[in-house]
């Protein structure tokens, strides 16, 4: 192999491959030429990522390099085009305009280029990258990487109606969902719901954050492969079957009280008051006519308390005990200036929602109350 590539294109491509190159996995990056294109790939048992960039190809070839070493080198390349030249045992990386940088990287032998079994029967939708990114941001924090429950480590993607796509996440103590209205969704797209791992959602979020207007989502007919793609960038995710619980049963349907709170004030107040909380992160929200008091304490002498005036509440006194960390996650996920909090009695789930959201997007967050503290 002997090729020259643009430094920025090469850095972008290698950065896109990081999902399968985890610390626990001795990962490698494959590179091969096809005409004047350089194709890069990284893969593990769940994710396969492929990136293509333009190249000036002088000699065709296929090589495999240590993933972490290549990533570290590419990140520090000096300004200027990059040359990649392979011999029997190594790849010589050369770069620099005003300086001359050279690095010899050892090849990994006895590897075959992965055969990507791209399903022929696909259900595909072209969706708004901006809306899908927002949807993931509103749910991702509820999905754990090490949940004791299978459903706690995945997001549930499904269609509540013909033009709505909804993503749900729950760990059993909190639940978040966000739905987006996507015009011209094919009827056969997402015929049944599917579960996406946190890794898959992070990759999807990454693609949607690169400035593309739309992103292509495809599901294989057997519901075993989920494919995300934009020009020159493909992610294949192997789906795992998970029986997702009936989440709609915990969503309050007719809250007695709905109050609008300034998000920034609530966020800073909770952060200060929680300094006095113990490991449970219990945070009491005491609603009284025209005011809200946040309080926390430990078994010792520490106690925090702060009061906020609220003009639109004239109902009965009500004390809600919530997990302060979970509340902080919700408050931090939204850019809305006002946050709506909806509740009935202290022992029933509390619902929160941004007062203002992007066009065609709607999200809700549900917290199960903790045992009341005093």
Q: What is the DSSP-derived secondary structure letter of residue 160?
A: E
pLDDT for the residue 231: 96
Architecture category of domain 257-367 in CATH: Roll (3.10)
Q: Are 88 and 126 in contact (CB under 8 A)?
A: no
pLDDT for the residue 374: 46
Average pLDDT per block of 10 residues along the chain, 374 residues long: 97 95 77 96 91 96 95 95 95 91 94 77 90 96 85 93 93 92 87 90 95 94 91 92 89 86 94 89 93 86 90 87 93 92 91 95 94 55
> By C-alpha distance, which of 176, 180, 202 is closest to 327?
176
**Phi and psi at residue 335, to the nearest 5°:** -100, 0
User: How far is Cα 179 from Cα 270, in angstroms, rounded to an integer?
Assistant: 27
CATH topology of domain 122-241: DNA Polymerase III; Chain A, domain 2 (3.10.150)
149-205 pLDDT, tens digit per residue, is 889 999 999 999 988 999 999 988 899 999 999 888 888 899 889 999 998 999 999
User: How far is Cα 358 from Cα 356, in angstroms, rounded to an integer?
Assistant: 7
pTM of the full structure: 0.90
10 C-beta neighbours (distance < 10 Å), count:
25
19-49 pLDDT, tens digit per residue, is 998 755 568 999 999 999 999 999 988 899 9
Helix (H, G, I), strand (E, B) or coil at 295: strand
Q: Are 86 and 1 in contact (CB under 8 A)?
A: yes
Q: Which CATH code, of 3.40.50.1370, 3.10.150.10, 1.10.3210.10, 3.40.50.2300, is assigned to 2-106? A: 3.10.150.10
pLDDT for the residue 188: 87
Range(s) of the chain covered by CATH 3.10.150.10: 2-106, 122-241, 257-367
What are all long-range contacts of 271-275, with beta carbons under 8 Å and residues at least 24 apart? 271/328, 272/304, 272/306, 273/304, 273/305, 273/306, 273/324, 274/304, 274/324, 274/325, 274/328, 275/304
pLDDT for the residue 97: 86
Q: Are 16 and 49 in contact (CB under 8 A)?
A: yes
């Amino acid at each position: 192999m002997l090729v020259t590539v643009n430094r920025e294109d090469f850095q972008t491509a290698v950065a896109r491959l990081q999902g399968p190159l985890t610390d626990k996995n001795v990962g490698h990056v494959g590179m091969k030429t096809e005409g004047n294109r350089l194709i890069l790939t990284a893969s593990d048992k769940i994710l396969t990522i492929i990136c293509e960039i333009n190249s000036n190809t002088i000699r065709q070839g296929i090589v495999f390099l240590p993933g972490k070493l290549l990533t570290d080198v590419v990140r520090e390349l000096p300004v200027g085009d990059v040359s990649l030249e392979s011999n029997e045992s190594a790849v010589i990386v050369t770069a620099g305009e005003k300086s001359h940088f050279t690095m010899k990287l050892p090849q990994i032998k006895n590897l075959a280029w992965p055969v990507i079994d791209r399903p022929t029967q696909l259900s595909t939708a072209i969706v708004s990258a901006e809306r899908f990114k927002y949807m993931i941001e509103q749910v991702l924090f509820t999905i754990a990487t090490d949940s004791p429950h299978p459903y706690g480590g995945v997001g549930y993607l499904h269609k509540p109606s013909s033009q709505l796509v909804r993503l749900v996440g729950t760990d059993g103590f909190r639940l978040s969902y966000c739905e987006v209205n996507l015009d011209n969704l094919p009827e056969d797209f997402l015929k049944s719901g599917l579960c996406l791992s946190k890794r898959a959602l992070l990759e999807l979020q990454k693609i949607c954050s690169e400035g593309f207007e739309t992103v292509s989502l495809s599901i294989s007919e057997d519901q075993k492969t989920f494919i995300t793609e934009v020009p020159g960038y493909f992610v294949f995710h192997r789906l795992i079957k998970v029986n997702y619980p009936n989440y709609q049963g915990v969503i309050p349907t007719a809250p007695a009280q709905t109050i609008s709170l300034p998000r920034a004030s609530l966020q800073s107040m909770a952060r200060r008051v929680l300094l006095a909380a113990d490991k449970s992160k219990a945070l009491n929200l005491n609603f009284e006519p025209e005011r809200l008091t946040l309080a926390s304490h430990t078994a010792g002498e520490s106690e925090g308390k702060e009061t906020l005036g609220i003009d639109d509440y004239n109902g009965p006194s009500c004390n809600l005990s919530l997990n302060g960390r979970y509340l902080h996650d919700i408050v931090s996920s939204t850019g809305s200036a006002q946050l709506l909090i909806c509740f009935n009695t202290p022992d029933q789930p509390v619902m929160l929602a941004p007062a203002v959201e992007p066009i065609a997007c709607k999200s809700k967050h549900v917290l199960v109350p903790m045992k009341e503290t005093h």
